[in-house]
Amino acid sequence: MRAIQSILVLAAGLAFSASSIVTAHDQTAHLDHNPKHGGTFFMAMDNKHHLEGVLLAPGIFRVYLYDDHTKPLSAEETRKAGGTVQIGESGDAPKISLAPGMKKETLEARLGNEVKFPVIVTLLLRLPGMAPNARPEVFTFRFAQFTEESAAGGCGSLSSMPNVHC
């Protein structure tokens, strides 16, 4: 009987150790929500992706995509994403397609030379792995000025929201 109890305790210990490893790995996901390029940072609803949007002079909206640990997606994986951008929040605003960016791991849309601040940019994004018939996820970016891409990044008014770290 004592041998069976020892085996059960050992088996329970191994199961606990294995689940602890998985849990520790999973717990490191989603901890870093700091912008990497001076833009506005979001976690996608799929809980697998993060993204950051920056608005560069002379009106280029650039999107960086990350995994759940905020590691940049490869250029190949980034190319599996796509979508459109609209200036403002109206569903009737003209849609501007995202295209591969100047930086190979980004997507970009050219908004034109006459962006007027403050400006709201609405991103309708299809992330890698989304079902073909799934609706794109919507992200709203507010810019008071062009992004200084080398800046540490801030969230502006988003910093007062829970779970947003700037």
Query: For residue 158, what are the contacts with CB-CB under 8 A and spacing of at least 6?
Result: 40, 164, 166
Residue of 89, 99, 153 whose CA lies nearest to 121: 89
Question: Same domain, yes or no, for 146 and 87?
Answer: yes
Structure tokens at 15: 């199961």
Same domain, 114 and 92: yes
pLDDT at 26: 54
Residue 144 within a domain = yes
Model pLDDT, residue 89: 87
In a domain, 166, yes or no: no
* Domains identified in the chain, total number: 2
Answer for the pair 62, 79: CB distance below 8 angstroms, yes or no.
no
Using alpha carbons only, what angle is made at residue 158 by residues 91 and 161, rounded to the nearest 5 degrees? 110
Instruction: State the DSSP string of 104-152.
Output: TTEEEEE--S---SSEEEEEEEE-TT--TTSPPEEEEEEESS---TTS-
| Residue 165 maps to a domain | no
In 10 A of CB 67, how many CB atoms? 15
The parent domain of residue 22 ranges over 1-30
Residue 51's pLDDT is 96
pLDDT by residue (tens digit) across 77-107?
A: 999 999 999 999 888 999 999 999 999 999 9
* Low-confidence spans in the chain with pLDDT less than 70: 1-31, 150-166
The reported pLDDT for the residue numbered 5 is 47
Q: In whole angstroms, what separates CA 46 from the centre of its chain?
A: 10
Residues 142 and 105 reside in one and the same domain: yes
How many angstroms separate the CA atoms of 64 and 79, rounded? 11
